[in-house]
Each structure stands twice: as structure tokens, then as C-alpha cells.
Structure 1
Amino acid sequence: MLGRMLVLVAALTVAQVGGAQEYFGDTRPDAPELSARGTLQVGVRTLVVEHKDQFDILHYSAEQQDPRYSRKLKLEVWYPAKLAADQKEHTVYTDVLGSGPNDPKRPNTPFQFNGRAARDAAPTSGRYPLVIVSHGYPGSRLQMSYLTENLASKGYVVVAIDHLESTRADKAAFPSTLLNRRLDDLFVLNTVAAWAKPGSGNFLAGVVDADNTALVGYSMGGYGALNTVGAGISAAAVAYVPGGKLAVNQQGNAQYESARDPRIKAVVAFAPWGGAHHVWDDAGLASVRTPLLFISGDQDDVAGYQDGVKQLFEKTTHADRYLLTYVGGRHNSAPNPPSPAHWSNPDDFQSYSEPVWDSRRINNINQHFVTAFLGIKLKSQPLQDYLEGNWKGFPERAQLGLEWRHLKEL
């Protein structure tokens, strides 16, 4: 009991360092240059979209071979904003702890944390590239707010998805996640593209450039992003979903091949799952043509590194790609730091934290490299020097523990 009380006291102390409020994503003194927040103010809104008449894999059976349902997806949207006189860049996000419903060891418990964005602010004029963010399994649309807010302040519209049956609140059997990530990503892209049209009635009308889109995915979100841009799964991996229904995402399937979307110009894949589990063969990975930034720990025991992320990096041979490696890092290279609420349960804490690396430092480094990569690929900004492996923008001695590789397309 005393030990648990000391942990809670430590958590409260961490939350109060530097003042009463902490905003994830703010820069440490040793943060690299491009991690700094941009010049634009940021607004945020929560929207719900519905993908109707979708195949329901969780209710598939020999007796019911084509069950259908509507997939309701909650979205968090960050965007450049013009604040009213009474508005401030401050909001409070509500997420949940746990690893799915009905787990007595890790019950779904709401927790809150601060965000540096103005709720429901008016968007600024202009057309901004689109970034779609896809979480892990289980995860949430809010688990990378340090990055989503940062990108919005630099002139992007960022849309993060709560993937149905794959969040901490509603986690269900794994086949739903395997099947639906690509389908959700493309549905959200098409939905936002419709909102972007003048006269749509949506607040993003005329604001977002959906023809200039990036996917950012963590773990299963990285799997889905790769699958979306042409990494068709192998014939052997089709068996991972009942009834062979994963064939809709399979390499060589004509319907799958025709769905490759030229609006997607870049992918950031944090610890993408699948390589170590033989989801793809070499031909599937070689089909990717979209520029890639992989980010991973070399001790990742979920997605794998030597037989996982590193193999994906090396075998996507027809894409220009980069690999940032956290030496000693495990799987949590993408999320926010643990909130104080996470400190009450070791499993919840470890689902966000890294045993060797400080999460805030990881967040700043991610902001730096993602800013450079997306700035080049979506905005044609002259930031290539930051990706040349010379650690441009890092304070002296601040690149310790990092490895950087670049392979050009064949």
C-alpha cells in the first residue's frame, strides 16, 4: 500500500513540474530544431462518421457468410485556427485506461489530460495538406496528441481515427483490425475530400487539400498504412481472418490493386506490425511506391525489429524510405507520455512508457523528423538537409542513442 501511495505522489509531482499544467509535446531544452511548435494557432473538433453496409467479420459464420453493419468512427480533427477574443489554445481530452472492456485487471477507466488547442475554433483561410492518423491495437485517436497538435500548428489538417473494435474502450477480436484498417483509412480520406469541396457545409470546406495526403500509423496503424499504399498481404496471411476474407487486402487481387490511391503522398510508420508475423512476402513489399519514414526501437518485442521493422524498411525496395531507430527502445515509439492516471497500474503505465527512453524526448525527436519528412513530401519545403544523416538541428551531443538510415528506391 505504501509503495502504491508513493507511486501516486510521484505521478502528481511529474504532472506539476514547471507549473500546474503540462501539455504533451512541449519542447525539452535539448529538443531538436524542428520539434518546435509552428506559428499557427490550433483548433480541434470531434466528429463522428459512419461507413455503412460494411462486412462484419466478427459475426461471420458458415451459416451467416455475409453479415453487414455500419462502422461508426469517431474522429479528432486538428487544424490551423483563428481564435476568438475569448478563446485560448487549451482543451481537456478524455481517454480511457485499460486493454479493452471487461478486463478486471485493467478496467476501462476514464482519464483526462491537457491539450494545446482551442475547442471548436474557426479555421483559418487557406488550403492545408491532410494527415490521417491511425492508432495501435488497442489505442485511441488521442494517443499521439503531442504530434497531431504540432503538425496542425505547422499548416496541416490532421484527422485521427478511433477504429471501431480496436480502441481501448471497445477492443474486440483481432480479425476486425486486420481487415478494416485499410478500409477505414480510405473511407476517412474520401470523407474528408468531400468535406473539402466548396459548398459542402462542413467547416473544412475549402480548407483542406485532400489530394495531398499522408498516413501516420502506429503498430497496427502502421500495418494498415502500408497495406493502404500497396503492400498487399501474402497468400499465407489470408488465413489470419476466418473464411479467407482478408483476400480483399491481398497482393495480386485486382480489386485491391485498383484501390491504390494516388492522393497519398507519404507514410510515417511507427513500429509497424506484421513483418515478423509474415504478413507480407517480398513481392508485396516491393509493390509500395509511396515514400516512407519508419520509426522503431531496436528492442521492439511486439512488432519485432531485426525480423520486423528493419525487414520492412529493407524490402520496400521501390520506395524512397528512411529508418529512425531508438537504440534500446521497445514498442512505444509513438504515444504520448503516460498520464498521471497510468501510474496506478504497471500494465497501463508500460503501455505508454519506454523502459530506457524518456517519452518526452522521443516525442520531440519524432516531431522533428516527421516535420522534415512531411514538409518535403507534402509541401516541397527545402528541409532535405535534416534527413541527410548529419543530425542537423540537434544540439551538440543530443543525438546519442539514435541511428538513421536512408535507402533510395530502385
Structure 2
Amino acid sequence: MQRSRLCVTLALIATLPLGTPAGAQTAPAPLTVPGDLRPDAPELAARGQYAVGVRTLNLVNKGQLDLVHAGKEGTVPTYDRPLTVEVWYPAPGVSGGGSTTYTDVLGSGPGDAKRPNTPFQIPGRATRDASAVQGGPFPLVIVSHGYPGSRYLLSYLAENLASKGYVVASIDHTDSTHGDKAAFASTLLNRALDDTFVLNEMARLGAAGSGSFLSNVVNANQTGIVGYSMGGYGALNAAGAGYGPQMAPLVPGGAFAQRQVGRYTADPRIKAVVAFAPWGGDAAVKAIGVNFGGKYGFWEDAGLQALKVPTMFVVGDRDDVAFYEGGVKPLFENAVNAERYMVVYENASHNSAPNPAPAASYGSFDDYMHYAEPAWDSGRLNNLNQHFVTAFLNLKLKGEQAAAAYLNVPVTHSNDIKFSRNADGTPKADDTSWKGFKDRTARGIELYHLLPK
């Protein structure tokens, strides 16, 4: 027995890198590039047929309310609101053959001594300033990050969708990024407004004769919005889910009234929404000390009923920011006029959407936990998101009816799947596996589907 223990101990020591003391902690090795496939990735996580190009646009939305500088008496000046947008698009070349880096910063706004704005880089498989494929036009996907976040927070998904024939425009929401986080009222009002403005700008740039590299490349009439956390909150509103009037005091000068149910019309070009852990439900609002929210936080029944475009909710059932029970689940259940799906990651918290934590964050618990999931590998979640979002957008933006088979699953809990195959690999009559998943790879996931009433 003693000799056996000694052999095991020596074997473990032999696996340590040279110069690493026994018992020392080493950082986990990240994936080479966010979005690369693990061996257990589901079918639709794979990159598509196109190489990917990427460019940065600097847009200006003139005459917007400057809530950061609102006066104490409720007066709100106006300014020309700058928005930096990263655009990924199909490009000539070999799928996955590009190489680039995206520069972001850690932290939670300027001047935070505990979480300073430390620069870091994210590797990508796109080619900077490549020409665009002219085989489109391609559906548009607008990506809206969390609070705080950046246009690169979901770069793994943006690149993946561009390789499959989408133009992806990811917004740096001014006053809401890691580097410039400011008045929360600006985020509350501007998320949906930014989404709509970027949709208009992408349509303008995609028009024939625009002179842009996007001319004849973008089909803005088939637009989806992918939003994470505060991005999900804004995406739901942009697509029609008007806020309740009781939330008006959160934004100065009565400016929030324009986003109330019945006060605006959703852009008809928005055909689909993917809401990752959308913030703003009842439990989320109460968690920040607001006790005058509506039945569903920012929403009442009428507001949720005004959402009529197909919507996919993605959430962890242990979400402690947007929350599941009392948060996202009631939004899914009560948006009764929309076809909707809900993907639930069991034991996941709030970070089911972003890139894996960068190595630069390993020295800060708060920065690391801005990305990481304690019970899930982030690379695994990225692959799952690529799979489910691809199926949903292919179905709703491209009209590919075959994609429905990846979403309309025979059992809602993946742990209840029976993988039953004949010798030639074809399913037996009692097979209840989820399309696109290999045996033993669909675990800890729930997938629900509700039709409009």
C-alpha cells in the first residue's frame, strides 16, 4: 500500500511543469481562439463555408439626449452620440483561415482602482479590412453586449455567424463599456435606440450605390438582434416589448416615456431576437433596490404581449443577476404573442454568453468572474450557443425549415435523452436524442418551445 501511494505521488509530481512547486496553482490553458470547436461540440457549432472579414465603423447618432450630464432639475442637454461598431462579414478565402486580434480592456469603468482598465487581446479567425463576398445580400445580426461590456464580448459568436452567411454588427454602447461606464440612466434609455440607429446605418451602407464595402452585402430587411444581459433587455424593447410607465422615474426629464408600451412601433425589419440572460425582470429589478417595478420588472402584461417576433431566450437556472425564477422564465412564459424558445443551462449563472475569461483576468477574481462560469467550461458554452443560435437564425432569418429539427426536440431535458441507434447509425424507434449531438454529449440542458397564443 505504501509503495502504491509513493508511485502515485511520484507520477503526479512528474506531470508538473519544471519550476512549479508541488501544490502551486496554475492558470487553466484557454482555447486557442474563442469559438474553436471542442471534440464534443454539437453539429451546428462548426464554422460555415465563408472566410470572415472584419472592420471597425465609427458612427455618430446626432441630437441624442446626454443623460450623463443631465441637470439636477431634470433638464437634459443633447449631444452627438458616438458609437463604435465592429462588423464581421463573409469574405473570400478559406473558412477559418483568417487571423487577427481584438484589443479590449478589463474593468468596470474608468477610475476603478480595484478593477483598472487593463488592456488585453482576444485572438480571432477573421481578416482585418478584407473585401466582402458579393454573393448576398446577407441577413443582418446586431449584437448588444452586457453592462459593462464591449463589442468584442461575443466575438466567438460574431465570427461564427459571419462564416455562415450573416453580416454581424456589434455595438460598443457609449457609457456602457468596460472603458467608459457612466450614468446607468444612459444604458436604460439608449440600448434600444442604439440598436435601431445601427440597423438604419447598416441599411444605408448596404444599399446599392452607397460606396461602402457593404453595398449590396447587407439585407437589413432580415435583421436579428442578439443581446446579452442589458443587451437582451434592450433587444426585447427594440423588438416591441414596451416598458411599463412605472419605470419612468429611472431616467431624467421624462425621456423614458418614448420606450413605453404603445408609445413607439417596433421596426418591422427586426425578424428575430436572441436574448441571453436578459436583465430587467422582477427579481433583477428588486435585486438593485428598485421596488416600484411592474409585474415583470420593467414590463407589464401589455408590454410583453407587444413582443411579436420569434425570440430565443438563453439562461442559466442559477443566474444571480437576471435570475431565472422571477426573472427570465416569466418573460419567456408571458410574451404570449411571440413564438419563443428557451435554452436553459442547468447550474449556470449569468455568464453563459461571453468569450472565455482572458488570461489577463486571472489575477482578479472580479474580472475573472465577469466571464467565467463555475459549473461550466466556457468553451463548451460557446459551442452550444453557436449551435442553438445558428439553428434559430437559420430558421427565422433565412427560412431554412430543416433547422427546426435542431430546436423542436423530442424531450425537453437533455438528461432524459435515450440515444438508441441501429448498427448503421440510423435512429431506432425509441431514440429520443437531440439532433446534432453525439452520444453522451447532451447533458445539463433544457430546451422549451412555445407558440403564440
Instruction: Name the TM-score, length of structure 2 as normaliser.
Output: 0.85
Q: 1:344: how far off?
A: 1.2
Cross-structure match for 2:27: 10
Of 368, 374, 387 in structure 2, the residue corresponding to residue 355 of structure 1 is: 374
Cross-structure match for 2:267: 261
Matches for 1:7-406 after TM superposition, within 5 Å: 9-11=26-28, 14-15=29-30, 22-61=32-71, 65-83=75-93, 89-126=98-135, 127-253=137-263, 256-257=264-265, 260-276=266-282, 277=285, 278-381=297-400, 382-390=402-410, 391-406=434-449
Q: 1:10: how far off?
A: 2.1
* 1:131-178 Cα shifts (integer Å, max 9, x gaps): 000000000000101100000000000000000000000000210000
Distance 2:76 2:183 in 1: 18
The residue type paired with residue 234 of structure 1 is G
Retained in 2: the 8 A contact 1:128–1:207?
Answer: yes
Distance 2:67 2:366 in 1: 29
Please give the root-mean-square deviation of Cα atoms over the aligned residues, in Å: 1.7
Distance 2:91 2:255 in 1: 42
Distance 1:6 1:82 in 2: 47
* 1:84-137 Cα shifts (integer Å, max 9, x gaps): 9xx950001100001111000000010012100011101011210000000000
3-state DSSP of counterpart to 1:200: coil
Q: 1:63: how far off?
A: 5.0
* 1:345-380 Cα shifts (integer Å, max 9, x gaps): 111100000010110100000000000000000111
Retained in 2: the 8 A contact 1:83–1:118?
Answer: no
* 1:286-324 Cα shifts (integer Å, max 9, x gaps): 111000000000010101111011011001000000000
Distance 2:351 2:141 in 1: 21
Aligned residues: percent identity? 57
Retained in 1: the 8 A contact 2:51–2:97?
Answer: no
Q: 1:6: how far off?
A: 5.1
Q: 1:396: how far off?
A: 1.1
Q: 1:404: how far off?
A: 0.8
Distance 2:191 2:350 in 1: 19
Retained in 2: the 8 A contact 1:327–1:402?
Answer: yes
- List alignment gaps of at least 5 residues for structure 1: none
Q: 1:252: how far off?
A: 2.4
Distance 2:337 2:60 in 1: 35
Aligned length: 394
After TM superposition, the structure 1 stretch with the greater mean CA deviation from structure 2, 305-314 or 240-249, is 240-249
Instruction: Name the TM-score, length of structure 1 as normaliser.
Output: 0.93
3-state DSSP of counterpart to 1:204: coil
Distance 1:57 1:251 in 2: 22
Distance 1:64 1:159 in 2: 34
The residue type paired with residue 81 of structure 1 is A
Q: 1:47: how far off?
A: 1.1
**Any runs of at least 4 consecutive aligned residues in structure 1 with deviations exceeding 4 A, and if so which?**
none
Q: Determine which structure has more spread, i.e. the larger CA radius of gyration.
A: 2
Cross-structure match for 2:451: 408
The residue type paired with residue 128 of structure 2 is R
The residue type paired with residue 219 of structure 1 is S
After TM superposition, the structure 1 stretch with the greater mean CA deviation from structure 2, 361-370 or 394-403, is 394-403
Retained in 1: the 8 A contact 2:74–2:252?
Answer: no
Distance 1:266 1:42 in 2: 23
* 1:248-286 Cα shifts (integer Å, max 9, x gaps): 101122xx23xx111010000000001122110111001
Retained in 2: the 8 A contact 1:83–1:121?
Answer: no
The residue type paired with residue 349 of structure 1 is Y
